[in-house]
Amino acid sequence: MIMKNFGPEAKFLSDKFKLPLYFNINTAMSLIGEQGSAFQWLVSAESAFATDYRDRYHLGTEIWIADMVAVRSGYKFFYDTEDWTVGAGLKLGVGSREIIIDVAYQILSNTLIPPCVFQSADHSSITVFNIIIYS
C-alpha cells in the first residue's frame, strides 16, 4: 500500500493549498511457473484512490517463455484517454551482461493533441521503446 501527498499544505508563491491525498493498493502473483522457469504466467491488479478524482483500477498479465521472451497486456479502468496496452520484451545474456529490450503499444483517445503527447500519423497511438543494459 502506498500513500502519497500526506503532510502539510503546499505553497506556491503566496498561495497555500492541500495536495490531493492518494492511496494505491496492488498485488501480483505467478499463476503458473516461477521466475527463471521455462514458462511463467504473472497477473497483477492495482487500485488507485484519490481525493480529487474517481477510483481507478489496473489489471495486467505477463507471460515469460524460457526466461527470455515476454508478452504483456494491461487494461486501465476509468481513465479518460487510456485503456489497453500491449507489449513485448526480450532478455539476452551477452557475456557477463544482460540486455533487456522492451516495446509497448498503447491506444490513446484523440482528446490529447501535441505537444501533450507524442502521436503517430493516425493520431491514436504512442509507442515506447526501452533498452536496459545491466553489467
Q: pLDDT of 60-110, one tens digit each?
A: 999 999 999 999 999 999 988 888 888 898 888 888 888 888 888 887 765
Q: Has residue 41 got a pLDDT over 70?
A: yes
Tell me the mean pLDDT in the region 35-44: 94
Task: Identify the pLDDT of residue 12.
Answer: 87
Distance CA 82, CA 59 (A): 13
Higher pLDDT, 118 or 95: 95
Question: What Å distances lie between residue 47 and 11, 57, 85, 111, CA to CA?
Answer: 29, 4, 17, 24
Task: Identify the pLDDT of residue 132.
Answer: 55
The residues, any chain, with a CB within 8 Å of residue 103's CB and separated by 6 or more, are 87, 88, 89, 127, 128, 129, 130
User: Domain spans of the chain?
Assistant: 21-134
* pTM for this entry: 0.69
Of these ranges, 58-62, 109-113, 114-118, the one predicted with the greatest mean pLDDT is 58-62
- How distant is the alpha carbon of residue 28 from its chain centre? 13
